[in-house]
């Protein structure tokens, strides 16, 4: 079968015209409503906070590396682990994911921009300023004229610890208000993605031909609309408690701290899937391209994603087994949690089936995706373990749970995000990331990850509680904690290599061309980086792999797709 | 092909420019105003008021941006065509054996064979267990009580003499545990033995008990340290191997039956629909679908 070289007429121009002075360049970014620039802003912002939260993790691990350590004070330690969790979820994970969606969704569906470009800019800046407001608490927690104090009640901010009696000053006010501001930004972006996906697809792109990345971002955005709202409502109630003397969460005045826990986890558990489904979305794009095969079981993948989205709203109280629920409640949430395993199992089988028999190219994005599939299985298994109520009773407040959580958030989500960086960086910058540095990054990170989080399961089983400041030398946790910390520093080195790769390759990287991976979705039919208008003429697609159809006109996919 | 896939009409009247939403600073002004307003209660009233003013200004500016007509900018279309071509010219279809979908196991043992194997293995493994009890503690009830009392808290620190005596309750519990476990493992053997490539009895009878015993040895200290101290792991392994070999031999001697895995789905459902089993002439065999593979030159 011969190659087909297909010029796309005027549709594809060069990248942005050269900019003028630095101020003009800066101004163009501040006033932009271009989805690609906003996507890059989101990602750069998220990456910055990923580094900040990573630095906080390093402090935590140094503090716990040795028994009776006093590297930081107990007060500072509480602030650091609270900010680490809050930052990773709200200021690093969400912005990077929505940044990817911002950049890729219009390109993948053949649109010029998002449905509401100005709302898109407004959403990003809200998110950005919300994050800055949260970090301003380090210096402004008691007001501009006082000493600062950052939130220190854990990222879940359980009542009554967040009440004014136990958290005086403004620390929790900063937490609530900053996240409300950032949350409205997230809602705006979610509305934008839903509207864009449903109303701006190019000709021929039916729902059954949409790239799986777009499908999953649609599901994630719909979930976001449902998950952020209960959190925002609870935060408003918390502020009413703290400012106006309401008693929603004050047990002594007839309120219910349990109400906060319900509200938080009705947000919190779907939020995990809001973060992890985009990781699945990334794998859905990368694995087929580097396996040189179409994705296996496209309809099943869509159905499983929608199933995960639905079921994720029925499992929140598995975070609450230890608060003491009725056996009916325990049984329901055990079973509903286990159902998630069916959908994720379908996905894992389909990724493996996609790779099966393919001509696999072990480039860095694919390496990260293979690690992702492996990690997904492990994280799922530890999740199934914790879904069993008696097991959870024993280990919920131990480092076993922290290990499981990081198996998901780092082992699945962060690793998939790394894959996305290596896969789409050439599209956004026109330069390839260094494969050599990428492989150093991959191996150091994966090894460091397992050294840290595999070991963390054991220290949890041995009874080390979560969130403790330090521990006595006779508890039998010394060596394990040192190993965990060494693994964390190895991950830190890997991330430093990654950041250096981003910077180095931007200036010295190999020219990428429009389609360096020989891929099949529409974003690769534009120059790298794409022009402001994406496509000069509206593309028309006839299958799920429009570029395959162009490259192989005698053997197009549309013949096979019902 | 390009004509089929790319809509050729230019998107703007002159064909050289494209209309895009104009850049604007009002979204960032409004966002900053919202944040300042939120920071008001945390810092000072002045900050909150300033935030409110910025919000108002942001809203007015934004409305003027889109009302009565949305502001646009003209972006020049740059004529630099992109070539969509694959470096991999050859599309190689995976050659499938007609029996490709004949999954392992094509044949399996009936459920009854697993039950028979479980019963036989369960009876056989009693012998080394009782011999161990008699030799080590001079009581055949010692291993019985260890099994029956494994999960009973009162037995955690019981002296050997108590464990060596006969007890009705632990005896009945041990019998129940033994029967249920043997039947389930027997069923597992029945399902798994056809899948083991060679020497199924050897693998299922010796290797699997060896792995299982090793796993249990590593776990038991965490799950039940008191029980772990009392288990004689050598004897334990002997009884497991006795079970495995016996159950394996009994299962392997049973007659195999086809699993039906190689039949089409519709046929397995019992649907008489020959049309469903035929492939579309233009789409190739349904078995080939989604199995395309490309190779480099």
Q: How far is B11 from chain A (nearest CA, A)?
A: 6
Chain B residue closest to A117 (CA)? B21
In this structure, what token pair is assigned to residue A494? 């890997």
| B14 in contact with chain A, both atoms CB, cutoff 8 A | no
Contact B23 A518 (CB under 8 A): no
CA distance A178 to A201: 34
Quickly state the pLDDT bin for A3 (edges 50, 70, 90): very low
| B9 in contact with chain A, both atoms CB, cutoff 8 A | yes
In this structure, what token pair is assigned to residue A284? 């859905």
Out of B24, B89, B222, the one facing A3 most closely (by C-beta) is: B89
CA distance A123 to B2: 37
Mind listing the pLDDT tens digit for each residue in A510-538?
999 999 999 999 999 999 999 999 998 89
pLDDT score recorded for residue B297: 33
* pLDDT of A93 higher than 50: yes
3-class DSSP state of A502: helix
Question: Best of B1, B2, B5 to disrupt the A interface by mutation (most A CBs within 10 Å)?
Answer: B5
Chain A residue closest to B41 (CA)? A173
Lowest mean pLDDT among A131-135, B187-191, B246-250: B187-191
pLDDT score recorded for residue A426: 96
Contact B42 A170 (CB under 8 A): yes
CA distance A389 to A320: 10
Cα dist from A47 to A41, A96, B175, whole Å: 10, 7, 60
Contact A532 B86 (CB under 8 A): no
pLDDT score recorded for residue B195: 76
Mind listing the pLDDT tens digit for each residue in A271-324?
999 999 999 999 999 999 999 999 999 999 999 999 999 999 999 999 999 988
Q: How far is A392 from chain B (nearest CA, A)?
A: 15
Alpha carbons within 13 A on the beta-carbon side of A219 = 30
* pLDDT of B3 higher than 70: no
For residues A333-347, give the mean pLDDT: 92
| B13 in contact with chain A, both atoms CB, cutoff 8 A | no
Contact A1 B65 (CB under 8 A): no
Contacts with A460 from chain B: Cβ below 8 Å: none
pLDDT score recorded for residue A169: 84
* Structure letter (DSSP) for residue B154: G
pLDDT score recorded for residue B12: 52
CA distance A129 to B30: 11
Contacts with A8 from chain B: Cβ below 8 Å: 2, 6, 81-82, 84
Q: How far is A123 from chain B (nearest CA, A)?
A: 8
CB A148 within 8 A of CB A76: no
Out of B20, B44, B86, the one facing A3 most closely (by C-beta) is: B86
pLDDT score recorded for residue B203: 82
Mind listing the pLDDT tens digit for each residue in A19-73?
578 899 999 999 999 999 999 999 999 999 999 999 999 999 999 999 999 999 9
CA distance A102 to A99: 5
* pLDDT of A230 higher than 50: yes
For residues A125-141, give the mean pLDDT: 91
How many CB pairs (< 8 A) connect A and B? 211
| B17 in contact with chain A, both atoms CB, cutoff 8 A | no
Out of A14, A132, A357, the one facing B78 most closely (by C-beta) is: A14
pLDDT score recorded for residue A73: 92
Contacts with B89 from chain A: Cβ below 8 Å: 1-3
Report the share of chain A in percent with pLDDT over 90. 83
* pLDDT of A13 higher than 50: no
Quickly state the pLDDT bin for B282 (edges 50, 70, 90): very low
Contacts with A19 from chain B: Cβ below 8 Å: none
Residues 184-213 of B with CB under 8 A from A: none
Contact B2 A550 (CB under 8 A): yes
For residues A78-107, give the mean pLDDT: 96
pLDDT score recorded for residue B264: 66
* pLDDT of B276 higher than 60: no
First-to-last CA distance in chain A? 23
* pLDDT of B11 higher than 80: no
Placement of tokens 């958290």 in the chain: A167
For residues A130-143, give the mean pLDDT: 84
Contact A133 B38 (CB under 8 A): yes
Out of B1, B8, B291, the one facing A357 most closely (by C-beta) is: B291
φ and ψ at B236, to 5 degrees?
Answer: -60, -45
* pLDDT of A478 higher than 60: yes
Question: Best of B1, B3, B6, B284 to disrupt the A interface by mutation (most A CBs within 10 Å)?
Answer: B6
Contacts with A2 from chain B: Cβ below 8 Å: 89
Out of B15, B28, B293, the one facing A125 most closely (by C-beta) is: B28
In this structure, what token pair is assigned to residue A126? 């809200």
Number of DSSP helices (H) and strands (E) in chain A, helices first: 17, 1
Contact A125 B81 (CB under 8 A): no
Q: How far is A369 from chain B (nearest CA, A)?
A: 19
Tell me the DSSP string of B172-213.
HHHHHHHHHHHHHHHHHHHHHGGGSSS-HHHIIIIIHHHHHH
Q: Answer with the residue of higher pLDDT: B252 or B37.
A: B37
pLDDT score recorded for residue B202: 81
pLDDT score recorded for residue A11: 36
* Structure letter (DSSP) for residue A540: B
pLDDT score recorded for residue A39: 97
Contact A9 B6 (CB under 8 A): yes
pLDDT score recorded for residue A560: 79
CB A83 within 8 A of CB A53: yes
Contact B84 A119 (CB under 8 A): no
Contact B290 A296 (CB under 8 A): yes
Quickly state the pLDDT bin for A348 (edges 50, 70, 90): very high
Lowest mean pLDDT among A317-321, B85-89, B131-135: B85-89
Contacts with B32 from chain A: Cβ below 8 Å: 125, 129
Closest C-alpha among A192, A524, A531 to residue B11 = A531
In this structure, what token pair is assigned to residue A205? 């792109």
Task: State the ipTM, two decimals.
Answer: 0.90
| B223 in contact with chain A, both atoms CB, cutoff 8 A | no
pLDDT score recorded for residue B83: 81
Contact B41 A173 (CB under 8 A): yes
The string over B137-155, giving b where at least 16 C-beta atoms fall within 10 Å of a residue's C-beta and e elsewhere, is bebbbbbbbbbbbbeeeeb
The domains located in chain A, with CATH, are 21-551 (1.20.210.10)
For residues B68-95, give the mean pLDDT: 81
pLDDT score recorded for residue B105: 67
For residues A143-155, give the mean pLDDT: 72
Q: How far is A496 from chain B (nearest CA, A)?
A: 31
In this structure, what token pair is assigned to residue A92? 């690093």
pTM: 0.77
CA distance B99 to B263: 10
In this structure, what token pair is assigned to residue A188? 């705006």
Out of A118, A243, A553, the one facing B21 most closely (by C-beta) is: A118
Q: Peptide bond before B68: cis, by omega within 30 degrees of 0?
A: yes
Q: Answer with the residue of higher pLDDT: A80 or B151.
A: A80
Quickly state the pLDDT bin for A325 (edges 50, 70, 90): confident
Contacts with A9 from chain B: Cβ below 8 Å: 2, 6, 8, 81
Contacts with A133 from chain B: Cβ below 8 Å: 35, 38-39
Tell me the DSSP string of A126-186.
HHHHHHHHHHHHHHHBTBTTS------STTTT-TTTTSTTTS-TTHHHHHHHHHHHHHHHH
* pLDDT of A6 higher than 50: no
Contacts with A130 from chain B: Cβ below 8 Å: 35
Placement of tokens 């094509």 in the chain: B106
For residues B1-25, give the mean pLDDT: 65
Q: How far is B57 from chain A (nearest CA, A)?
A: 14
* pLDDT of B98 higher than 90: no
* pLDDT of B255 higher than 90: no
* Structure letter (DSSP) for residue A19: P
Contact A30 B291 (CB under 8 A): no
pLDDT score recorded for residue A404: 95
Q: How far is B137 from chain A (nearest CA, A)?
A: 33
In this structure, what token pair is assigned to residue B159? 């002296």
pLDDT score recorded for residue B161: 83
Contact A10 B27 (CB under 8 A): no
Out of A136, A525, A541, the one facing B82 most closely (by C-beta) is: A525
Contacts with B77 from chain A: Cβ below 8 Å: 10, 13, 531, 533, 536
Contacts with A515 from chain B: Cβ below 8 Å: 82, 84
Quickly state the pLDDT bin for B152 (edges 50, 70, 90): low
pLDDT score recorded for residue A177: 95
H or E element that contains B44: none
Out of A8, A125, A359, the one facing B293 most closely (by C-beta) is: A359
Contact B1 A6 (CB under 8 A): yes
Sign of CA dihedral A208, A213, A214, A215: positive
Residues 30-89 of B with CB under 8 A from A: 30-32, 34-35, 38-39, 41-44, 62, 65-66, 75, 77-89
């Amino acid at each position: 079968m011969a190659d087909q070289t297909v010029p796309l007429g005027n549709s594809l121009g060069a990248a942005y015209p050269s900019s003028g002075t630095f101020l003009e360049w800066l101004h163009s970014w501040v006033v932009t409503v271009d989805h690609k620039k906003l996507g890059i802003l989101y990602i750069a912002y998220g990456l910055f906070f990923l580094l900040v939260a990573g630095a906080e993790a390093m402090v935590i691990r140094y503090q716990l590396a040795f028994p009776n350590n006093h590297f930081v004070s107990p007060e500072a330690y509480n602030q650091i682990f609270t900010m680490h969790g809050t930052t990773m979820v709200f200021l690093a994970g969400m912005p990077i994911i929505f940044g990817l969606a911002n950049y890729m969704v219009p390109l993948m569906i053949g649109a010029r921009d998002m449905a509401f470009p100005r709302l898109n800019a407004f959403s990003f800046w809200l998110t950005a300023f919300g994050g800055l407001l949260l970090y301003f608490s380090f210096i402004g927690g008691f007001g501009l004229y006082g000493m600062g104090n950052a939130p220190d009640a854990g990222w879940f901010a359980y009542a009554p610890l967040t009440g004014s009696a136990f958290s005086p000053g403004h620390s929790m006010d900063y937490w609530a208000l900053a996240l409300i501001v950032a949350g409205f930004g997230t809602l705006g972006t979610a509305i934008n993605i839903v509207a864009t996906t449903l109303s701006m697809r190019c000709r021929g792109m039916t729902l059954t031909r949409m790239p799986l990345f777009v499908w999953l971002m649609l599901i994630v955005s719909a979930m976001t609309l449902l998950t952020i709202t209960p959190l925002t409502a609870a935060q408003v109630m918390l502020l009413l408690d703290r400012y106006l003397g309401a008693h929603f969460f004050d047990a002594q005045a007839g309120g219910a701290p349990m109400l906060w826990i319900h509200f938080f986890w009705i947000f919190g558990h779907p939020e995990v899937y809001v973060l992890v489904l985009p990781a699945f979305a990334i794998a859905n794009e990368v694995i087929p391209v580097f396996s040189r095969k179409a994705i296996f079981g496209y309809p099943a993948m869509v159905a499983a994603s929608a199933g995960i989205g639905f079921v994720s709203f029925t499992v929140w109280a598995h975070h609450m087994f230890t608060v003491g629920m009725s056996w009916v409640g325990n049984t329901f949430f055990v079973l509903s949690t286990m159902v998630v395993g069916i959908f994720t199992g379908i996905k894992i089988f389909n990724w493996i089936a996609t790779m099966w028999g393919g001509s696999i190219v072990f480039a860095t994005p694919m390496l990260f995706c293979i690690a992702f599939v492996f990690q997904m299985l492990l994280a799922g298994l530890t999740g199934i373990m914790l879904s069993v109520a008696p097991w959870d009773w024993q280990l919920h407040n131990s480092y076993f749970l922290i290990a499981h959580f990081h198996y998901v958030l780092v082992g699945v989500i962060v690793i998939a995000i790394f894959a996305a960086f290596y896969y789409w960086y050439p599209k956004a910058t026109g330069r390839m990331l260094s494969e050599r540095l990428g492989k150093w990054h991959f191996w150091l990170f994966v090894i460091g990850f397992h050294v840290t989080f595999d070991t963390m399961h054991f220290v949890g089983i041995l009874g080390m509680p979560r969130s403790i400041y330090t521990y006595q030398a006779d508890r039998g946790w010394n060596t394990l904690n040192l190993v965990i910390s060494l693994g964390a520093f190895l991950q830190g080195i890997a991330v430093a290599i990654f950041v250096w790769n981003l910077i180095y390759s931007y200036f010295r990287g190999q020219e990428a061309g429009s389609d360096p991976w020989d891929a099949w979705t529409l974003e690769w039919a534009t120059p790298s980086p794409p022009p402001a208008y994406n496509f000069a003429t509206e593309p028309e697609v006839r299958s799920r792999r429009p570029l395959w159809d162009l490259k192989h006109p005698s053997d197009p996919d549309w013949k096979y797709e019902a | 092909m390009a004509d089929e896939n790319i809509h050729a009409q230019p998107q703007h009247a002159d064909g050289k420019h494209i209309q895009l939403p104009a850049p604007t600073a009002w979204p960032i002004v409004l966002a900053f105003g919202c944040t300042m307003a939120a920071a008001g209660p945390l810092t000072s009233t002045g900050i909150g008021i300033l935030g409110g003013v910025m919000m108002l200004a942001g809203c007015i500016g934004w409305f003027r941006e889109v009302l009565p007509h949305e502001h646009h900018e003209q972006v020049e279309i740059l004529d630099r065509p992109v070539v969509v071509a694959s470096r991999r010219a050859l599309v190689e279809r995976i050659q499938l054996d007609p029996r490709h979908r004949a999954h392992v196991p094509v044949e399996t043992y009936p459920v009854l064979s697993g039950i028979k194997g479980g019963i036989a293995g369960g009876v056989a493994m009693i012998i080394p267990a009782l011999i161990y009890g008699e030799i080590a503690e001079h009581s055949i009830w010692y291993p019985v009580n260890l099994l029956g009392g494994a999960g009973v808290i009162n037995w955690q620190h019981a002296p050997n003499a108590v464990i060596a005596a006969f007890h009705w309750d632990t005896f009945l519990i041990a019998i129940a545990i033994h029967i249920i476990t043997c039947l389930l493992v027997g069923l597992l053997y029945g399902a798994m033995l056809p899948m083991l490539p060679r020497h199924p009895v050897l693998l299922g009878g010796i290797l699997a008990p060896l792995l299982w015993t090793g796993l249990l040895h590593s776990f038991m200290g965490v799950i039940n340290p008191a029980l772990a101290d009392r288990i004689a792991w050598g004897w334990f392994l002997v009884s497991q191997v006795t079970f495995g070999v016996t159950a394996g031999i009994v299962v392997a001697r049973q007659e195999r039956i086809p699993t039906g895995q190689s039949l089409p789905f519709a046929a397995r459902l019992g649907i008489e629909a020959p049309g469903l089993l035929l492939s579309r002439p233009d789409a190739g065999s349904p078995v080939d679908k989604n199995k395309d593979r490309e190779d480099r030159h």
